[in-house]
Amino acid sequence: MDSACSSIEGSTRVGEASVHWRKQGSGPPVVFVHGFPLSGHTWDKVVVRLRDRFTCYTPDLIGLGQSHSAADDDYASPGQARALQRVLSELGVDSYALVGNDTGGWIARELALIDTGRVSRLILTNTEIPFHRPPWIPMYQALAHVPGFGNVIQQLLKSSAFRRSSLVFGGCFHDLTTLEGEFHESFVEPLIGSDARMDGAMRFLRRMKFARLDEFKNLHQRLAMPTLFIWGANDPTFPEPRAREMVRQFPNVVGFHAIANTKLFVYEEHPQEVARLIDGFLSGTQPIGRDIETKVAVEAGGKPLTIPSV
């Protein structure tokens, strides 16, 4: 196999956690962090477009995919970040770009906060916003404490109507047919068929605390690495106008790129465009700068942002 497309995977033990990861490609390291209730495989369509130029790491978050822990603290956002930091150290990753979507974007910010010396650049796609509560998630967090709730969800997920509703994945895709086929086999069927997978997802929900997220309204100021935003413009979970307001909290924003006709999982529906933007930002081959600067400044309604050279 060509070394540029080589792929290995494994699990690394850090404390009481076992973190599963995949490594593909060669070149400067890029770490992709997925959201709920997915796994690192959700980034595959982007990775396949970048692995000839970058070494791409796609870990599974604790409680999701094949990662798990005996310690409850490892399921919380700071614990997830500490585990990822240790795993990357074990894998010999000295400096890396960091990409996060959905709750993976929240955890990516936690990681960037504690691993600032190694995180060279930060890319955030649709993700949590301080003091904004996404639809339904607080309700699911409360119900996750009810015994047997995971079993109820397993039964409900067998219904296509339930999966397509706004209660589940209806707000994640512009094209709901994307929910079937490969996505269903990779992320829904494991939750239906494995009590351990569902238990991990429930533990994940219980430990992600919005009070901690809200602290990032101020903590964002400490993330000084160049930061690029790529946003699904029609996302009801993390609306674009709220995201543009959040942009002002970051000190070194390179740009905000909105992609039309897409929602929360923007990289699943438009992997080529997301990969192009990531590649351009990290390699300097695409003009990310002034046009996006103007768009952010005008549409956010604030003063012009300073765009550093990349």
**Residue 107 resides in a domain:** yes
Q: Is a pLDDT exceeding 80 seen at residue 273?
A: yes
Task: Calculate mean pLDDT across residues 123-151.
Answer: 97
Tell me the pairing of strands 227-232 and 253-259.
Answer: parallel
Distance of alpha carbon 28 from its chain centroid, rounded? Answer: 20
Summarised one tens digit per residue, pLDDT across range 217-239 is 999 999 999 999 999 999 999 99
**Residues 6 or more apart from 268 whose CB is under 8 A from it?**
42, 45, 173, 178, 183
Sole residue written with tokens 């962090």? 33
The domain that holds 223 is classified in CATH as 3.40.50.1820
CA–CA gap between residue 239 and residue 236 (Å, rounded): 5
**Residue 283 resides in a domain:** yes
pTM of the model: 0.92
CB 19 within 8 A of CB 12: yes
CA angle at residue 295 from 44 to 28, to 5 degrees? 35
Mean model confidence pLDDT for the chain: 92
**Structural domain that includes position 60:** 3-134+210-300
Q: Is a pLDDT exceeding 80 seen at residue 240?
A: yes
- Looking at the structure of the chain, the number of domains it has is 1
Task: Calculate mean pLDDT across residues 246-267.
Answer: 97
**Residues 6 or more apart from 193 whose CB is under 8 A from it?**
none
For residue 137, with 0-12 CB atoms within 10 Å meaning exposed, 13-18 middle and 19 or more buried, which class applies?
Answer: middle
Minimal CA–CA distance to 61: which of 102, 33, 100? 33
pLDDT at 284: 84
pLDDT band at residue 6 under the 50/70/90 scheme:
confident
H-only helix segments in the chain: 44-47, 77-90, 103-114, 137-143, 149-156, 160-164, 182-183, 189-193, 195-207, 210-214, 216-219, 240-247, 266-269, 271-283, 289-300
Summarised one tens digit per residue, pLDDT across range 23-73 is 999 999 999 999 999 999 999 999 999 999 999 999 999 999 999 999 999
Q: Is a pLDDT exceeding 60 seen at residue 148?
A: yes
**Residue 286 resides in a domain:** yes
pLDDT band at residue 294 under the 50/70/90 scheme:
very low
**Residue 168 resides in a domain:** no
pLDDT at 247: 98
Task: Calculate mean pLDDT across residues 199-213.
Answer: 98
**Residue 146 resides in a domain:** no
pLDDT at 183: 97
Least confident of 103-112, 134-143, 146-155, 286-295: 286-295
Q: Is a pLDDT exceeding 50 seen at residue 244?
A: yes
Enter the tokens of residue 98: 């960091």
CB 38 within 8 A of CB 103: no
Summarised one tens digit per residue, pLDDT across range 71-101 is 999 999 999 999 999 999 999 999 999 999 9
**Residues 6 or more apart from 140 whose CB is under 8 A from it?**
205
**Residue 197 resides in a domain:** no
Sole residue written with tokens 């999982």? 265
**Residue 242 resides in a domain:** yes
Q: What percent of the chain has pLDDT over 90?
A: 89
Q: Is a pLDDT exceeding 70 seen at residue 116?
A: yes
